[in-house]
Amino acid sequence: MRGVQLSEWQEQSDEQVFEAFRAEEPGAYRELIERYHDDLLRFLTRMVGDRAAAEDIFQDTFLQVHISAHSFDSSRRFRPWLFTIAANKARDYLRKKNRRKTVELSAPIKKSESGASFVDLLEVDIPSPDAAMDLSERDEMVQRALDQLGPALREVLLLAYFQRLSYAQIAEDLGIPLGTVKSRMHSAVASFARAWQSVSKGEKSLLSLW
């Protein structure tokens, strides 16, 4: 079978590339890794709060993809399956590190003082070295707020707002009831709101000392 040239991969869907990988087409596995490198690494960095650990989990995730390739249902989308594997790996990492910091809060959903909703803050990209300092500081603040959520809440929040998965998709991919997803999402958004407010006030307090 003729190998697919790199330029040809651009015309292929994720599912087509994955099928090519299962058919042992040269370059298909590398194409999947490159396609998801940035998005998946950002997701994992948010999930575990550590870039180095996120890189290790990224490698473990694609190793699992390789090992479990035969079990993938070709009628399903590849992306949710990949991110579910990654989320499970991240959860295992957090469990081993005893980093559970579940916060049970019931704060109402509010807007941040900047006018953007706090869920929008989840999508802040990792800033480049020449990025403005305020973006870098805000990115760190978002991560500190996320760190206050337990893995289960952080997971559904990131899957919903990072990957734009519906509640039904999250329920299917995580193997939990739809009602559980809705309950966790409500708690996660409220918890992030309260955590963000706490982090923001702490930052202002530090600035007032200068």
The model's confidence at residue 113, banded by pLDDT at 50, 70 and 90, is very low
Let me know whether 93 and 113 are in one domain: no
By the 8 A CB rule, do 63 and 23 touch?
Answer: no
Q: Three-state SS for 205?
A: helix
pTM of the predicted model over 0.85: no
Question: Is residue 208's pLDDT more than 60?
Answer: no
Let me know whether 108 and 16 are in one domain: no
Domain of residue 32, CATH code: 1.10.1740.10
Let me know whether 111 and 84 are in one domain: no
What mean pLDDT do residues 162-169 have? 79
Answer with the one of 71, 99, 127 that is the final residue of a domain: 99
Inter-CA distances, 89 with 64, 65, 151, 162, 188, Å: 9, 12, 11, 17, 20
The model's confidence at residue 64, banded by pLDDT at 50, 70 and 90, is very high
More reliable by pLDDT, 206 or 82: 82
Let me know whether 113 and 208 are in one domain: yes
- What residue type is assigned to position 118 of the chain? F
Which domain, by its residues, includes 165? 101-210
Count of CA atoms in the C-beta half-sphere (13 A) of 56:
9
> CA-CA distance, 187 to 185, in Å (whole number)?
5
Answer with the one of 83, 99, 115 that is the final residue of a domain: 99
Let me know whether 26 and 109 are in one domain: no
Let me know whether 176 and 75 are in one domain: no
> CA-CA distance, 183 to 199, in Å (whole number)?
24
What mean pLDDT do residues 118-142 have? 55
Answer with the one of 41, 65, 99 that is the final residue of a domain: 99
Q: Is 5 exposed, middle or buried (0-12, 13-18, 19+ CB in 10 A)?
A: exposed
Let me know whether 88 and 152 are in one domain: no
C-beta pairs of 175-182 under 8 Å, 24+ apart in sequence: 181/156
Question: Is residue 84's pLDDT more than 50?
Answer: yes
Let me know whether 85 and 1 are in one domain: yes
Let me know whether 27 and 65 are in one domain: yes
Instruction: Give the number of other Cβ atoms within 10 Å of residue 153's Cβ.
Output: 25
Taking the CA atoms of residue 60, residue 64, residue 65 and residue 70 in that order, the dihedral angle to the nearest 10 degrees is: 170
Let me know whether 92 and 108 are in one domain: no
> CA-CA distance, 131 to 49, in Å (whole number)?
20
Question: Is residue 61's pLDDT more than 90?
Answer: yes
Let me know whether 80 and 172 are in one domain: no
Let me know whether 105 and 206 are in one domain: yes
More reliable by pLDDT, 54 or 208: 54
Domain of residue 139, CATH code: 1.10.10.10
> CA-CA distance, 69 to 18, in Å (whole number)?
8
> CA-CA distance, 197 to 112, in Å (whole number)?
8
- Number of structural domains the chain divides into: 2
